[in-house]
Structure 1
Amino acid sequence: MASKEPDTILMIELLSLEHEQAGYQIEVGLTRNVGYARSKLTIDEFTYEQLKALGPFSGGRMRLSLYPKWDPFRNSYYSTLIIMNRAYSETLYFACSENYVNQLLQLKQQDYPQAEEERVVQTMLPSTEPGHRISRKKTKRIGLVALLCLMFACLIFVLPLRMDGQLVDSAEALEEPVLGADSEPLLSVPFVTLAQTISVHNQQAEPTPEPSAPPQEQTLPYEKYELPENEFLYSLPKGYVALSFDDGPSKYTKEIVDILVEHKVAATFLFIGNKVAHNAEAVRYANEHKMSVGSHSWDHSKMTANSVEENRNNLAKTNQALEQITQSPITIFRPPYGAINDKLTAKVTEQQMKVLLWNRDPEDWNVKNPEDILQYVHHADPSGGVYLFHEKKITVEALPAIIKYFQEKNLKFVVFK
């Protein structure tokens, strides 16, 4: 049965570092699947002094790692602070206390109420009407598939087997989210509705087994998932996994695609607009091999700092560059750094796009060898994961082992549309 992941923090941004009468405090910005909020944490003096020693800070966005690590040689925990701007990113290391580690863990597990201290993005529409409407539509389509299977079972004794429109062949099935009776359907509705729909479908299917579907429907290598319009997608139901690659197109795009094709899976590529002209063949190659192509902005700028007009032009230029190659609308957008607010959301919606975030980040841009990436992959539960990778040499080297690991876990691969 599919299940919805709990409210999850995607990124923690350090906004301020203060020493007040109340104690040592940090103000952080929390990007979650439900939006953005500010929060103040009272930390211990040791961690405060370690963070303070990294300064003075001269601008840029400061991102705190969600995953402190234990250093057995120094017998202490350590973490990272990543300073990013348009020109560079710098990773700074600092020692931290066990109390700080526990605070991060509690922060990640905490459920925030709907009225937050500072709410920038409202990602869930108040009405659930669209969810119910789509659910009924999908139920009808599932019934149609069952009817077709029954007709096929009757006709097979009097007619030669034909696949010219009565049944879905493997190529068409990759374009449709509705599969055979043995597969869980992926619906573009909020995951609570998704879980309920799949639960009801499974319960109804148990008493009367349906006729066996053709082998093509049972062995599809991946499924296409249509992103919901009324929320940011950051996770998948249990049993599914998605690979996504940011910051291309690049010299590694073709190699990544070849590895995916070799292992009979697919991924979603989020391309930067100003790189397209010099790497047009890479975009074309990914598109021709049935990879999903989306936008990662024109210039990888922090778009929440841009004006409304700048963002409109940024999105439009990127889509135009990509659509000239794909010959189809670009409907997927991933904001650089995961930074998004209500004004940017409005421009994304205006361009008929939907927002794709993530919930698994191996930080492949910040590691020194493929083994570091694999260590993260092996220690994080992959089920339901939307993995954020980048087009890097070490990621290419780790990719075959990553795919094999997910396949050994019997996970179904998903690409977005």
Structure 2
Amino acid sequence: MPVYLGKVLELQSVSNQADQSYLTIKISSEQEPGTEVLWKIDNTTADHLQAIFEQELDPDAVNKYRLSFYTARDSANSCYVSYLTRTYCEQSERIYFTCSEQYVHDLQSIRTNESIDGLEFLTPLPETAPEPDSSKSENARPYLSNRGLIWSAIVLMSIIILMLIGSAVPAFSYKMASGIDADTQLVGGMTKTVDSIEGLTSEIGSITAVNPQFQAPAAEQKIAKAVDAPARPANEPVVSFVELNDTLNFSIPKGHVALTFDDGPSKFTEKIADVLKEYRVGGTFFFIGENVEKYPESVQYVKEHGYSIGSHSMHHLELTKLSKAKQKYEITQPNEMIEKLTGEPVVLFRPPYGAKNKALVDYINNTNHKMVLWDIDTLDWKSRNADKIYQSIQNAQPDGSIILMHETKATLEALPRIIKYLQDQKLDMVSLR
């Protein structure tokens, strides 16, 4: 199982020394306590992250920033996109930014390497050090914590080391997709050099999804392609996704369809993911907390293969019959369990039986979650018959639909036929985000 699962990257600051940009991040996991490191990155990505810091309306707010391991390739604009999660108290906000191939490649190295030892772009910081005088770092960008003097010394040492070994070891390289190292495989088997990244910012003005200050508009659903990028494992499928922005969601834009699977994880979870992977289509899994306890490996398997995960409550109770406090527990407890396994925030929520009331909707809205309902119910839980499940979709109008299914043997048997039918209808099967 990949060692990156469970890793958390807390972004603490962005700075610039001698025209070289750095991030200070804290890497932590269940196995290792937090380790602060200095990450040498390109100026373009640093500028976009710095722009996010400058968006803060309240300079006295104590925000936390967590970098996501997710990246996507925007082929229309020849650039990559990632996001970070800004958290204040119990409120969280996902903010997208444009990043370079080098950043994507380095992110892959962090997530797949068990140790940071040997990663040339990372330099461990001393565990304790006095805070330097900010006036001595004249060329530093604004950042969250001032470590200028320490960084200057580290940078100077790094430069000396690189000068000694630079003639023998390239600082950064990519191999062809047919080569040895799958971690550096790029989209479509093509390769690009780091130097080609610098022109990206001139190409992104017309696309909000790759704007460094991008936040998805509240009145529409943003559709973007999430194709293979170096930061994704080589076995992840090429899939599209739909970004949901409404509190309540019953359908998605025309030309797309969402396959969703409830009541897992189960003994069928990984097999369903394998079918989706085989046909290179998207899927969204809504997990029950008590089942997450039984099948944690399946949660990680779904995450590893790039599919979306939402919560389906802790115990699959009808939430409208519960108090507000119990509703909150049923929603937040499985989120915490899933996030601990995946290192990613859980935003999507599907109420058991589709039951909702004002208190539940208000809570979902106030916590920036997205409630995902459906407009096609296969009734697979009732029929337990692969033919009837397939026919329920064939007899409906799946264009723009969110299809409700469950993790059953019959659903698994019907899934290949369902996918082929939807492909014949020229529909793009997407994951939900």
Structure 2 length normalisation: TM-score?
0.48
Q: Given the two structures, how large is their TM-score scaled by the length of structure 1? A: 0.50
